[in-house]
């Protein structure tokens, strides 16, 4: 089954923020990282359940999963849920940051 991948507004803003943060430190790598992030999103069209359940999942009445994108200081957690035939990308968070709180997750 193929899923439709939707990027929620909160994730769009966080993706742009991550790109700008990386661009300040590694301008050449930033565009490549951004394009690979979009490609990573599209991998969720098939078998999104392959990704582990995110630690934040316990804050909700349904599963929140995570896909790790990038390496070392450019590693980000892509937090998403699966609703019917749709994958909703909820948040993008730097891998070194603490797990999100219920209030942060609700800002979608």
Instruction: Indicate which CATH number applies to the domain containing 33.
Output: 3.30.2310.20
- The count of domains in the chain is 1
**21, 64 in Cβ contact below 8 A?**
no
pLDDT tens digits for range 45-83: 999 999 999 988 888 788 999 999 877 777 889 999 999
The token duo for 62 is 């349904």
Reading the block at residue 18, the tokens are 């991550």
- Evaluate whether 79 touches 54 at the Cβ level (below 8 Å): yes
* Alpha-carbon gap, residue 3 to 75, rounded angstroms: 24
Percent of the chain's residues with pLDDT above 90? 61
Domain that holds residue 50: 4-106
- For 4-27, what is the mean pLDDT? 94
pLDDT above 70 as % of the chain: 87
Predicted pLDDT at 41: 94
Listed residue (2, 81, 100) closest to 45, CA to CA: 2
What are the structure tokens assigned to 54, written together? 């995110």
């Amino acid at each position: 089954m193929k899923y439709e991948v939707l990027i929620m507004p909160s994730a769009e803003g966080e993706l742009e923020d991550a790109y700008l943060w990386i661009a300040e430190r590694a301008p050449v790598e930033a565009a490549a990282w951004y394009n690979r992030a979009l490609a990573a999103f599209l991998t969720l069209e098939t078998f999104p359940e392959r990704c582990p359940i995110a630690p934040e999942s316990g804050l909700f009445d349904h599963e929140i999963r995570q896909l790790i994108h990038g390496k070392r200081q450019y590693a980000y957690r892509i937090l998403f849920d699966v609703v019917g035939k749709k994958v909703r990308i909820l948040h993008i968070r730097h891998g070194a940051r603490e797990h999100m709180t219920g209030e942060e997750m609700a800002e979608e």
